[in-house]
């Protein structure tokens, strides 16, 4: 996909976004017309409740304020499916107009950020969209995350166990999420946009696709207290941009 | 009221709280055990929608993070009655457990701040309360605000007009709100606490008390589109601290 942008990707080495002076100097230097803001605290096992979520709310608000002052045309931020109210035990599919009620500090931090950015950008005339990522997997992820927690042991001839095989999730490969984010930047869609495949798969089925016939996979169906049984994206808004991420079952089935 | 605290009140001259480095240096120097955080953008006519609301969310989160890191024991922040859902046209009295749904950027910024501070302080073991101020008046306020907009012209022999005389509000003197905040700091109450008198008065009645028989007051009853007819605090939580602010009618009746 070619969108015709000159892309600048500040890394932690050349700009600490948690330092307002460094952030402002970077924006002054780059003078971006479009911003895709992905940076956040996402350390596996920590980010749901990490106090650093507050630092990233603050950093994001200050970044957006300075970008607006510099006349940025469009800003795309990254949120999460954890912003939704998943407590109702309903069909487990969420559209962007559905109710939000995050039950984690991470989800609340993301939702608050989206709300406040909307209040900033709308009157300033800055085009603004907010990506709500469903569940991702891909190269370089923490070995304790779902896909590598199955793939690595099996590849090494060791056993692997899925404890909550009945949970249904909408997982997509990080590369597909990246393409969806790029498409969002290049479009003029506004407001929240789910990024998922629209297809739910049970963790049991996903693990089976990862195993691809290799021995050593044990699937349990333990109850997962406090976890929604199904979390699936309605991807009507994303599809309207011409983007249709493949579900994890298809990706895993073609690469394992 | 004597609470036994040594009080340090940083002013804009010695610490710009919007500058994280200055804020951290101030906290490092003072090492407060208790913080009452009142600073915000509150310029009359601007603050409801000012983009600076985002700066104050960021500044407050960073202040709270550094205070928690330094081991602060208690933090009291200042919110607003505008955090509540006033859209239902009901009795117009709100308790702290009632639904929130702010319909202004200011209200959303305050509510987001309270939510995020709760997520920070609860696991950190920092005692945290959030004052929801109802409507204030007092010395030094902007002449376009309600009380001076009546009191000043009448005192100068000019006419004054109340356009929405039918609106009912819970107004208290700033000095009473200050005493309530001080009591909150000295208590161990947690969560949101309304600061009001618990008594509603119509703007017509309030203007009458301000006029105190002087000529020149005109009261209209124009509809106020988008404005709740009644906004009154349930002050059960505040009263449990032994604090009972007087309603504006009594304060104005005794001083005009």
Q: What would the pLDDT profile of A206-253 be if each residue is shown by its tens digit?
A: 999 999 999 999 999 999 888 999 999 999 999 999 999 999 999 987
Distance from the Cα of B41 to chain A's closest Cα (Å) equals 15
Which residues from chain B sit within 8 angstroms of residue A120, using beta carbons?
51, 54, 105
pLDDT score at B4: 85
8 A C-beta contact, residue B49 and residue B105: yes
Q: Find the CB nearest B61 among A54, A115, A124.
A: A54
In which residue ranges of chain B is pLDDT below 50? 256
pLDDT score at A252: 86
B55 touches chain A (CB under 8 A): yes
Residue A12 CB neighbour total at 10 angstroms? 9
More confident residue, A164 or B253: A164
pLDDT score at B12: 85
Q: Which two tokens stand for residue A128?
A: 């603004």
Residue B149 CB neighbour total at 10 angstroms? 17
pTM of the model: 0.95
8 A C-beta contact, residue B139 and residue B84: no
Q: Is the pLDDT of residue A256 over 60?
A: no
The DSSP secondary structure of B17-56, one letter per residue, reads TTSHHHHHHHHHHH--SEEEE------TTTTTT-THHHHH
Nearest CA in chain B to A109: B116
The C-alpha angle A233, A237, A240, rounded to 5 degrees, equals 130
From first CA to last CA, the distance across chain B in angstroms is 25
Q: What is the pLDDT of residues A139-155, one digit of tens each?
A: 999 999 999 999 999 99
Distance between CA atoms of B16 and B234, rounded to whole angstroms?
Answer: 35
A125 touches chain B (CB under 8 A): no
Q: Cα-atom radius of gyration of chain A, to the nearest Å?
A: 19
Distance between CA atoms of A183 and A237, rounded to whole angstroms?
Answer: 12
CB-based contact A116 B55, cutoff 8 Å: no
Percent of chain A with pLDDT over 70: 98
Q: Which residue has the tokens 């370089």?
A: A140
Distance between CA atoms of A102 and A94, rounded to whole angstroms?
Answer: 13
Distance between CA atoms of B128 and B114, rounded to whole angstroms?
Answer: 10
Phi/psi of residue B43, nearest 5 degrees: -65, 125
Distance from the Cα of B129 to chain A's closest Cα (Å) equals 18
E-assigned strands of A68-121? 74-80, 93-94
Distance between CA atoms of B158 and B142, rounded to whole angstroms?
Answer: 18
pLDDT score at B256: 44
- Structural domain spans, chain A: 20-139+162-255
Q: Find the CB nearest B65 among A55, A64, A65.
A: A55
CA neighbor of B34 nearest in space, from B70, B76, B92:
B76
The 3-state secondary structure of A197-238, one letter per residue: CCCCEEHHHHHHHHHCCCCCEEECECCCCCCCCEEEECCHHH
From first CA to last CA, the distance across chain A in angstroms is 25
Mean pLDDT taken over chain A: 95
Distance from the Cα of A137 to chain B's closest Cα (Å) equals 27
Report DSSP state, residue A150: H
Estimate the crossing angle of helix A52-69 against helix B105-124, to 10 degrees.
Answer: 150
| CATH superfamily of domain region B20-138+172-198+232-246 | NAD(P)-binding Rossmann-like Domain (3.40.50.720)
Q: Find the CB nearest B54 among A20, A51, A65.
A: A65
8 A C-beta contact, residue B145 and residue B137: yes
Distance between CA atoms of A135 and B9, rounded to whole angstroms?
Answer: 47
> Best interface-test mutation with A: which of B116, B124, B126, B128 has the largest number of A CBs within 10 A?
B116
The C-alpha angle B171, B176, B180, rounded to 5 degrees, equals 110
CATH 3.20.20.370 holds for A20-139+162-255: no
> Best interface-test mutation with A: which of B20, B53, B66, B119 has the largest number of A CBs within 10 A?
B119
Whether the predicted interface score ipTM is above 0.90: yes
Q: Cα-atom radius of gyration of chain B, to the nearest Å?
A: 19
Phi/psi of residue B109, nearest 5 degrees: -65, -40
Q: Which residue has the tokens 């995050």?
A: A102
Distance between CA atoms of A119 and A173, rounded to whole angstroms?
Answer: 32
Which residues from chain A sit within 8 angstroms of residue B58, using beta carbons?
57-59, 61-62
């Amino acid at each position: 996909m070619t969108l015709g942008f000159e892309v600048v990707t500040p890394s932690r080495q050349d700009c600490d976004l948690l330092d307002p002076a460094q952030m402002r100097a970077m924006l002054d230097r780059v003078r971006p017309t479009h911003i895709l803001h992905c940076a956040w605290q996402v350390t596996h096992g920590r980010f749901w409740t990490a106090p650093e979520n507050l630092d990233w709310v603050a950093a994001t608000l200050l970044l957006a304020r300075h970008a607006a002052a510099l006349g940025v045309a469009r800003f795309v931020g990254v949120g999460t499916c954890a912003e939704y109210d998943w407590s109702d035990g309903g069909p487990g599919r969420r559209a962007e107009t559905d109710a939000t009620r995050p039950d984690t500090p991470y989800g609340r931090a993301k939702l608050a950020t989206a709300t406040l950015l909307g209040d900033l950008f709308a009157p300033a005339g800055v085009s603004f969209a907010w990506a709500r990522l469903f569940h991702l997997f891909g190269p370089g992820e923490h070995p304790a995350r779902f896909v590598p927690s199955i793939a690595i042991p099996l590849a090494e001839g060791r056993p692997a166990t899925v404890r909550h095989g009945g949970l249904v999730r909408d997982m997509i490969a990080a590369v597909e999420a990246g393409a969806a984010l790029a498409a969002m930047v290049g479009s003029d869609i506004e407001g929240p946009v789910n990024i998922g495949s629209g297809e739910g798969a049970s963790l049991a089925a996903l693990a089976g696709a990862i195993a691809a016939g290799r021995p050593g996979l044990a699937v349990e169906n333990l109850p997962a207290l406090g976890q929604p049984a199904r979390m699936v994206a309605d991807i009507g808004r994303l599809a309207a941009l011409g983007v249709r991420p493949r579900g994890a079952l298809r990706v895993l089935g073609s690469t394992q």
